[in-house]
Structure 1
Amino acid sequence: MIFRRAVALALSLFASATLCPAQAPSKEASQRAQLGVEALQQWYVPKMGLYRTTGWWNSANAITAITDYMRLTGSKKYTGVLANTYKQAQITIPKEQRTDAKKELTGFPGFLNNYYDDEGWWALAWIDAYDLTHDARYLTMARSIFDDMAASWDDTCSGGIWWSKDKKYKNAIANELFFSVAAHLASRVYSADGQKYADWAAKEWKWFYMSGMINGDHLVNDGLTIDAGTGKCSNNKKTIWTYNQGVLIGALAEWSRTGGGADILTHARQIADAAVAHFSDKAGVIHEPCEPNCGADGIQFKGIFVRNLRDLNNIAAEPVTGKAIAANAEAIWTKNRTSQNTFGTVWSGPITTPDAGTQSSALDALNAAITLEK
């Protein structure tokens, strides 16, 4: 009973935090995001339900970006895209039959593949789709994906899930996504399973906090090194990426809604403030360490960071966060936009060749600006 009351309160907070009266949508920001979505859809392949020029997990983030746009503006224009992707992206196409240039465009049944982080992105995409449409099949899919992720938890490093089914690396992003999916499901599943997800979220956060991946500067490194002799695990001190900060911030923000503890938002705020300071230039524009050549993965990271920064700001607004969102959305529009309303990797410019990954990443920031006060 206590848990159900907590869920009811969480959903109430969720509804108000998503778009509260004090943060009415900016018409200009909405129009910019609309043009960004329209440009993004030029890369959409209906037959596959995926996006040309980018990868499998990136397509999940593109779906999240257009879903967020609809949820924030009240549009329902692309709900058919969600339904189509749900159906078509579960179809695996033999490599010799794939038509994209790199012959990589294919789907996976149940949105399950060899990488648990890929699965986490799709689970969050379908939770977002459920929030928009209230179509139960999307939530059911997210729960199915979560079960596959949870099955990889073991005692190596005293807990945590693996990055892939090869079980060679325990890292930040897979565990952050596992935490985030658990926290989101805990506030959306009304059955007894809701407590199961809450228990998983609490267990994952406790493990992650003790794992050492959050360094002394309140920033998250990429993962853990496992000592071959002792089996002891420690922070591998590898690259500090924007999305590792973002996904954890978003997970903590969501977990704070379901009674995660009084210190949850404090941790989220510490990481957010440290990340904004670490990645921003003098104009407040965020840069990835790999710029301008970030490959197929790194181009997606900044948008994920700003998307989750928005989620935190919706719960615990702070001038630093709002200023960061506004500065990056403005830079994208004024310094990183082509005449076709497409966006490159470096948000402060100059414009690099846009693709579906760079477009959906920038769209995350444009979406985030929608809920800022005029």
Structure 2
Amino acid sequence: MQILSFFALPSLLACGVAAVPSQQQAELAFDALQGWYNESIGLWIPSTGWWNSANCLTVIADLAEINPDVATKAEAIYPNTWSNAQDYNLQLQKTVAAPEFLMQSQHGGNLPKHKTTGFLNNYYDDEGWWALAWIAVYDVTGDRKYLRTAESIFDDMAKAYGTTPCGGLWWSKDRTYVNAIANELFLDVAAHLANRAGAKKSYYLDFAKKEWAWFKQSGMINSQNLINDGLDNATCQNNGGTVWSYNQGVVLGGLTELSRATGDDSYVVKGKLIADAAIQNLTDSNGILHDPCEPDCGADGSQFKGVFARNLQILQQYSPEPRYATFLEKNANSIWKYDRSRRGNKLSLIWSGPFVKPANASTQSSAMDVLVAALATQ
């Protein structure tokens, strides 16, 4: 992969940084993230968007699992977001076009309340992000209200499974595109729920197995073990779309949870092939992760890399590899040293540096995913 020359300048020093980020650093990053939290609506808006807010909630829950001080601070965030965000479920307009296949979300600045059906909207990937967020909150709180919310979101996704001419799940209810992220999220949510839903395990496990069986033969995984963005509508063949970091990431969580649910580690073996290919192809010479859209990734691409780190954490905790721990530590330390504002501990887009203004809740939560992953897997 060719990385723009300015990526490498500050990170020439990063390769020598070995220490795991501290709990204090992660907590400072959390405090900065909460500076963008709109308490009245339970979202990190207008700093970032609807699906990004689900990722903000997820990284907070993940950090709360390992940081008691954050766990205490977060106790009020979960019910506030659960109660209020549903009233402001954004009616997004999202576009994705060749050749980059970079999502672009658009929503108005006004946020009037409107009738909503929980955390459902017109996009199945958005629904998947919220399902995973509430599963993460359930894991840290034990409150089954959040698990039931995730189950209800999954049920809406499941209604669309197998309705495309190519198989799998549509990206949106407009039925315009069969892409990787919606299908990976469907796998990931199903596999997560299979390990948490008790008597309904077989229901979710069946969906997870079917989705993976379809996905691995769909053609979206190319000969390099990298996942392109989606399928061509006319041919149902790999569309050659951009290899985004988050498409290499979500599948890792799904395959790890599927291995946990079945006891079959062949899923994790495949996950490691994908993880290794991503690290080889999407990092600079110092091992720092980049997406091809940098330095301008818009409102959506700024979230992608943290998703990879979060799911590599899930894989690493289940089946540790020293190379993954090294990758997470390098990226976390590079972020803190080279991608942090001089004041306020804000974290930006380019993890090798330099800090690019303005940071927002998307870049902050994405970078936090790496700090949390490095801490959780040390």
1:60–1:106 CA distance, 2 compared to 1 (3 A): farther
2:290 aligned with 1:287: yes
Per the TM alignment, residue 106 of structure 1 is displaced from its structure 2 partner at its CA by 6.6
2:97 aligned with 1:103: no
2:155 aligned with 1:161: no
**Which residue is equivalent to 2:249?**
246
Q: For each residue in 1:308-329, what CA deviation from the matched residue of structure 2 results, as whole angstroms up to 9, or x when unmatched? A: 1111111111122111100100
**Which residue is equivalent to 2:206?**
199
1:94–1:235 CA distance, 2 compared to 1 (3 A): closer
Could you tell me the percent identity over the aligned residues?
49
**Which residue is equivalent to 1:365?**
370
CA distance in 1, matches of 2:192, 2:112: 27
Per the TM alignment, residue 73 of structure 1 is displaced from its structure 2 partner at its CA by 1.8
8 Å Cα contact 2:20-2:329 kept in structure 1: no
Q: For each residue in 1:114-154, what CA deviation from the matched residue of structure 2 results, as whole angstroms up to 9, or x when unmatched? A: 00000000000000100110111100000000000001113
2:344 aligned with 1:351: no
Q: For each residue in 1:334-363, what CA deviation from the matched residue of structure 2 results, as whole angstroms up to 9, or x when unmatched? A: 000112100110011111110010000001
1:178–1:94 CA distance, 2 compared to 1 (3 A): closer
Q: Which amino acid letter does the alignment assign opposite residue 23 of structure 2?
A: S
SS in 2 for 1:274: helix
Q: Which amino acid letter does the alignment assign opposite residue 187 of structure 1?
A: N
Task: Say which of 74, 77, 81 aligns to 2:73.
Answer: 77
Structure 1 residues 113-262: aligned runs within 5 Å: 113-191=121-199, 193-227=200-234, 232-259=235-262, 261-262=264-265
**Which residue is equivalent to 1:98?**
none
Structure 1 residues 80-91: aligned runs within 5 Å: 80-91=76-87
Per the TM alignment, residue 260 of structure 1 is displaced from its structure 2 partner at its CA by 6.0
Task: Structure 1: state its 5+ residue gaps.
Answer: 1-25, 96-100
1:94–1:362 CA distance, 2 compared to 1 (3 A): closer
Q: Which amino acid letter does the alignment assign opposite residue 303 of structure 1?
A: G
Q: For each residue in 1:224-272, what CA deviation from the matched residue of structure 2 results, as whole angstroms up to 9, or x when unmatched? A: 0022xxxx41100100000000000111111110116331111000000
1:152–1:272 CA distance, 2 compared to 1 (3 A): same
**Which residue is equivalent to 1:56?**
50
8 Å Cα contact 2:185-2:250 kept in structure 1: yes
Q: Which amino acid letter does the alignment assign opposite residue 61 of structure 1?
A: N
2:334 aligned with 1:331: yes
SS in 2 for 1:321: helix
Task: Structure 2: state its 5+ residue gaps.
Answer: 1-18, 92-106
CA distance in 1, matches of 2:112, 2:286: 40
TM-score, normalised on structure 2? 0.86
Instruction: Report which stretch shifted further, 40-49 or 150-159.
Output: 150-159
CA distance in 1, matches of 2:89, 2:164: 35
Per the TM alignment, residue 184 of structure 1 is displaced from its structure 2 partner at its CA by 0.4
8 Å Cα contact 1:89-1:106 kept in structure 2: no
Task: Say which of 33, 36, 41 aligns to 1:43.
Answer: 36
Per the TM alignment, residue 157 of structure 1 is displaced from its structure 2 partner at its CA by 4.0
1:47–1:197 CA distance, 2 compared to 1 (3 A): same
CA distance in 2, matches of 1:287, 1:46: 32
SS in 2 for 1:289: coil
**Which residue is equivalent to 2:96?**
none
TM-score, normalised on structure 1? 0.87
Per the TM alignment, residue 105 of structure 1 is displaced from its structure 2 partner at its CA by 4.7
Q: For each residue in 1:250-298, what CA deviation from the matched residue of structure 2 results, as whole angstroms up to 9, or x when unmatched? A: 1111111011633111100000000011111111110111001000000
Q: Report how many aligned residue pairs link the two structures.
A: 338
Q: Which amino acid letter does the alignment assign opposite residue 84 of structure 2?
A: Q
RMSD across aligned C-alpha pairs, in angstroms?
A: 1.8
Per the TM alignment, residue 92 of structure 1 is displaced from its structure 2 partner at its CA by 3.2
CA distance in 1, matches of 2:257, 2:359: 32
Runs in 1 of length 4+ with deviation above 3 angstroms? 92-95, 104-109
Q: For each residue in 1:63-108, what CA deviation from the matched residue of structure 2 results, as whole angstroms up to 9, or x when unmatched? A: 001111101223332121011000000003899xxxxx95165775
SS in 2 for 1:226: coil
CA distance in 2, matches of 1:82, 1:182: 22
CA distance in 2, matches of 1:79, 1:94: 24
**Which residue is equivalent to 1:298?**
301
CA distance in 1, matches of 2:227, 2:377: 27
Per the TM alignment, residue 168 of structure 1 is displaced from its structure 2 partner at its CA by 1.1
1:243–1:130 CA distance, 2 compared to 1 (3 A): same
Q: Which amino acid letter does the alignment assign opposite residue 329 of structure 1?
A: A
CA distance in 1, matches of 2:181, 2:20: 34
CA distance in 1, matches of 2:231, 2:263: 25
Q: Which amino acid letter does the alignment assign opposite residue 250 of structure 1?
A: G
Q: For each residue in 1:162-188, what CA deviation from the matched residue of structure 2 results, as whole angstroms up to 9, or x when unmatched? A: 000001111000000000000000010
2:88 aligned with 1:92: yes
SS in 1 for 2:232: strand
SS in 2 for 1:50: coil
8 Å Cα contact 1:50-1:105 kept in structure 2: no
